[in-house]
């Protein structure tokens, strides 16, 4: 208990600091744009992979 309680507090504060940093850096500004980019149907054709004889 002597180790677990301070460890839990430190990890909680680290998580809170990371969340506040992400808010400040604008990670949650354009949620709809990221969603549409993930499901957009881009017809970009990639070249076929090159297989080396081995």
DSSP calls for the chain: -TTHHHHHHHHHHHHHHHHHHHHHTTTTS-HHHHHHHHH----PPPPPPPPPP-
43 pLDDT higher than 70: no
pTM here is: 0.55
Higher pLDDT, 37 or 54: 37
Mean pLDDT of 21-36: 84
pLDDT at position 54: 60
> How high does pLDDT run on average in the chain?
84
The proportion of the chain whose per-residue pLDDT surpasses 70, expressed as a percent, equals: 85
pLDDT at position 46: 65
């Amino acid at each position: 208990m002597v180790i677990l309680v301070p460890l839990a507090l430190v990890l909680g504060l680290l998580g809170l600091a990371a969340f506040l940093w992400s808010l400040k850096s604008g990670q949650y500004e354009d949620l709809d744009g990221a969603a549409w980019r993930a499901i957009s149907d881009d017809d970009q054709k990639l070249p076929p992979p090159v297989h080396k004889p081995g």
